[in-house]
Amino acid sequence: HTDNRRLHPAWDSLCFDYHREETLRFLLSNCRYWIEEFNFDGYRFDGVTSMLYHNHGLEKAFTQYSDYYDGGQNEDAIVYLTLANELIHLLHKDAISVAEEMSGMPGLAAKVEDGGIGFDYRMAMGIPDFWIKMIKEKKDEDWNVSGIYYELTNHRAEEKTINYAESHDQALVGDKTIIFRLIDKEMYWHMQKNDHNGVVARGMAMHKMIRLITASTISGGYLNFMGNEFGHPEWIDFPREGNNWSFKHARRMWSLVDNDLLKYKQLNAFDADMIQLLSGEDAFAQSYSGVKVSNEGDQVLVFQRKNLFFVFNFSPVNSYSDYGFVTDPGKYKIVLNSDHPKYGGYGLIDDQMMYYSLLEPEPKPLPAATPKGKKSKKETAQPKPDTPKKHWLKIYIPARSCFVLRKVES
């Protein structure tokens, strides 16, 4: 652009004029070049929100549909993005395109023939920010399980998104990875398998829980950045003027994950088994997710997808025996358990045990907690005689752990 649209007000960069044919040819030929010359099978389009709107999406909340269609959208950029997606999928039928987009524009990840812009997925960019905010600002005992579930599933039902626990901003210099925020300097001294350190134990447990709940709530795909799956202790920092062109941090120490004496191998084993479990379920990302338990007082969340039940206990101190939730009649087995010793856990659950649903009446809600200084009547959560019976699973859930049950027999 040559007018007042030339400069990007927040990025100190120049803005393409997508209306010009020369610009379209240049950008579209670039899409083609990387597919044909280097066999690229996918693209992540950076800063799509900035492209979609004349104001670059700055200082706008996008809380209602009228915010998207108030005349501020950049139709020239939308045409370019649509053409780019058409070209990418024409040249490589299995290629994917992903939009880094914050506003949640309707139709962004819908097919062109359905009136969409043609991206296969939109990155769920709010999730990494949400996790960092939780870790930085909330005590473990204040983590709200229904709020967590809402943030991870907050998108239109028909929209395919990419969930990810931490972004490149946390993998690159300038920020911290999740594992480093949880454990920090203790990682340099207490990551040996025979070293029992409370800070490391907490960090590893929460690292696994955050990853499983982020991956198991996908509506499209799951993304991980290099080395974060096994808790690499350092960031990536490429040679630049600010670090005197140093190569010191321009690498990953992949040897850490192969060292049998270190806990990184345990984190990696959990991540690998998690991915294998979820990817082994046909059409998992398209399956309906139904919440069975969302108990803020206990910090317990249970939800079902297909024949898998995902159980989370975010409480840092409370373990629960015979914790029940309504399910279908049948027999169930644990197929992934964050507390298993091979993942750095304590082995408090017998993974070989079979769980059978029990036909019982639903218990009466427990009375509210009695204020300190007042005596309470002895009450139990006994059901009424005429209460209808339902099938229940009753399980032991250790503090700060998660596991997955699979229905193996009706």
150 Cβ contact list (under 8 Å, min separation 6): none
- Residue 270 three-state SS: helix
Give the chain's end-to-end CA distance (angstroms, integer).
Answer: 65
Closest listed residue to residue 123, CA positions, set 104, 103, 106, 100? 100
Look up 100 and say whether it is catalytic: yes
**Alpha-carbon torsion angle 331, 334, 335, 336, nearest 10:** 160
- Residue 56 three-state SS: coil
Residue ranges of E strands in 79-210: 96-99, 121-123, 161-163
How many residues does this entry show for the chain? 410
From the candidates 46, 75, 142, 409, give the one annotated as an active-site residue.
46
Closest listed residue to residue 263, CA positions, set 189, 333, 335, 331? 189
- Six token digits for residue 176: 């911290």
Cβ atoms of residues 27 and 80 within 8 Å:
yes
Look up 328 and say whether it is catalytic: no
CA–CA distances in Å: residue 141 to residues 146, 234, 283, 297, 322: 14, 28, 35, 9, 21
From the candidates 67, 76, 86, 100, give the one annotated as an active-site residue.
100
Rounded CA gap, 220 and 99, in Å?
Answer: 13
Catalytic residues: 46, 100
